Amino acid sequence: EDELSRGSLSNPGKGFVNGIKTNPASNSPKSGFPVPVGPPVYVDLAYIPNHCSGKNTDPEFFKRVRASYYVVSGNDATNGEPSRAVLDALLEGKSHWGENLQVTLIPTHDTEVTREWYQQTHEKQQELNIMVLASSSTVVMQDESFPACKIEF
């Protein structure tokens, strides 16, 4: 306890997140913030952060956030949304799960990046039990129409 106090006083915040000692080797290379060591989190539905941009999402996200459904909402090729690297990170992260749970990827837009990724990695998707839904449904509200997908649990 005394060593813990001295370490935090002489170098406040180093190696600690909210008062919990973290492992520097587990830091996320993308964000620069320490990632506390812990078990994965299982959720029904997860939105891939930042419109599926490579700025904040890497394989570590998919290793830790294990969802039955992932929503990909990117539709801005000039900003790299959706990012091919993030879609590849899903494959990499899921390959570390150790269990072959069904995962469904829900793109909200039909993009060239998503189509190419789907075609080029289809065998790997099948191996990892990943299904990609087609966005062929459309909702019309007032003067606007947009793609939609219904999810039932």
pLDDT tens digits, residue range 53-99?
677 788 899 999 999 999 988 777 676 668 899 999 999 999 999 88
Give the global pTM. Answer: 0.66
Residue 20 — φ and ψ, nearest 5°? -105, 130
The answer to whether position 46 is within a domain reads yes
Percent of the chain with pLDDT over 90: 35
**Dihedral Cα 36, 66, 62, 131, nearest 10 deg:** 180
The answer to whether position 30 is within a domain reads no
Residue 152 vs residues 32, 35, 68: alpha-carbon distances, Å: 37, 32, 12
Number of domains the chain is built from:
1
Residue 31 vs residues 43, 142, 148: alpha-carbon distances, Å: 22, 40, 31
Q: Would you say residue 15 has pLDDT above 60?
A: no
Q: Which amino acid is at 88?
A: D
Question: In this predicted structure, what is the pLDDT of residue 145?
Answer: 77
The answer to whether position 73 is within a domain reads yes
Q: Which amino acid is at 50?
A: N
The answer to whether position 153 is within a domain reads no
- Comparing 4-18, 24-38, 92-106, 109-123, which segment has the lowest mean pLDDT? 4-18
DSSP helix/strand/coil, 89: helix
DSSP helix/strand/coil, 3: helix
Range of the domain at 96: 41-147
What is the Cα–Cα distance from 131 to 94, expressed in whole angstroms? 13
Q: Would you say residue 30 has pLDDT above 90?
A: no
The answer to whether position 77 is within a domain reads yes
Question: In this predicted structure, what is the pLDDT of residue 55?
Answer: 73
The answer to whether position 123 is within a domain reads yes
Question: In this predicted structure, what is the pLDDT of residue 22?
Answer: 45
What is the H or E stretch that residue 107 is in?
Answer: strand 103-107
Q: Would you say residue 105 has pLDDT above 50?
A: yes
